[in-house]
Amino acid sequence: GFGAEDNGGDLDSFFVKSVEELPYNISVIQISKALPSAIAEAPTPGPSELNITGIMSAHGCKVFADTLLANPEAMGTYEDNLNGGLTVFCPLDDAFKAFLPKYKNLTASGKESFLEFFGVPVYQSLSMLKSNNGLMNTLATDGASKFDFTVQNDGEQVTLKTKINTVKITGTLLDEQPVAIYTIDKVLMPRELFKTAPTPAPAPAPEEAADAPKASKSKSKSKSKSAPTPESDVPADSPDDDPADQTADDNAALSFKGGRFVAVGLSFLLVFLLL
């Protein structure tokens, strides 16, 4: 027989049969009735009674938790999702403290949406985050206001990314279905509330020197026919009284006359010999 602890030695539950036996490791038996236990009968707090801001405050996210508590609308949204499933990404204190000036410049509705942006209305264990890459809606998602981010992983490292910035999951504060709470190294910024830094436009290329206008073929042809040829392109005619040309002419004439006198002289000599 078997009996509960501190029941005065009353053995009111008895062995029925063996269910499974793995020698020297495991033995499962069936007994006739359950054994009462004060610990088992104690009420277990439901998810709605879970103090998520207390958990965050005690593990490095106090600034974010205090800011969430100071916004009843956003805090109410978190509490409404505790039973159905909730995943929270809380920025560490140093990162959120440095971000507070930007947060204070938001409108009232902007502050509420911003705080809700760090909660996801479903339970996501760390192993699920490592395997389920892609877009993820948040508590702030509402129609045209997407307020989503992209989950990406590289090995064991999980990152959350918007069009503004990228943050890393650095630790796990709670991972018990239906609630999970993780720490992140920076403040994740939604594109709906913060603008991306303008990309510097590339410097314009230096303008090339304008080419001289070119005449069309028809104009070029007509111009070549009608326009006078520049003097520099045509060899200049030698003047009639060029000393060099005149000397050459005189030499040629002298040679010709000298040749004629020699011919006449030879003729007279031939006649004389014949006589």
Task: Give per-residue pLDDT as tens, 119-131.
Answer: 999 999 999 999 8
Q: If pLDDT is split at 50, 70 and 90, which confidence band does 272 have?
A: low
The beta strand positions in 162-216, using DSSP E, are: 166-176, 179-184
Q: Are strands 166-176 and 179-184 parallel, antiparallel or unpaired?
A: antiparallel
Specify the residue for token string 């800011």: 67
Highest mean pLDDT of the ranges 165-179, 194-208, 214-228: 165-179
Specify the residue for token string 């009996």: 3
Q: Are strands 86-91 and 119-120 parallel, antiparallel or unpaired?
A: antiparallel
Q: Answer whether residue 264 shows pLDDT above 60.
A: no
**CA nearest neighbour of 86 among 57, 111, 113, 50:** 50
- Domains of the chain (ranges; CATH) run 52-184 (2.30.180.10)
Q: Tell me, what's the pLDDT at 195? A: 82
Specify the residue for token string 């801001």: 53
Q: Answer whether residue 214 shows pLDDT above 80.
A: no
What mean pLDDT comes out for the span 71-76?
97
- Choose between 224 and 110: higher pLDDT: 110
**CA nearest neighbour of 132 among 148, 105, 152, 147:** 152
Q: Which amino acid is at 235?
A: P
Tell whether omega for the bond before 178 is within 30 degrees of 0, i.e. cis.
Answer: yes
Query: Nearest 10 degrees: CA dihedral of 205, 210, 216, 219?
Result: 170
pLDDT in tens, 146-188: 999 999 998 889 999 999 999 999 999 999 999 999 999 999 9
Question: 17 pairs with which residues across the strands?
Answer: 30
Specify the residue for token string 């709906």: 192
- Choose between 64 and 210: higher pLDDT: 64
Q: Tell me, what's the pLDDT at 170? A: 97
Q: Answer whether residue 240 shows pLDDT above 60.
A: no
Specify the residue for token string 């709605």: 48
Query: What letter does residue 2 receive in the DSSP assignment?
Result: B
Summary count for the chain: helices (H), strands (E):
9, 9
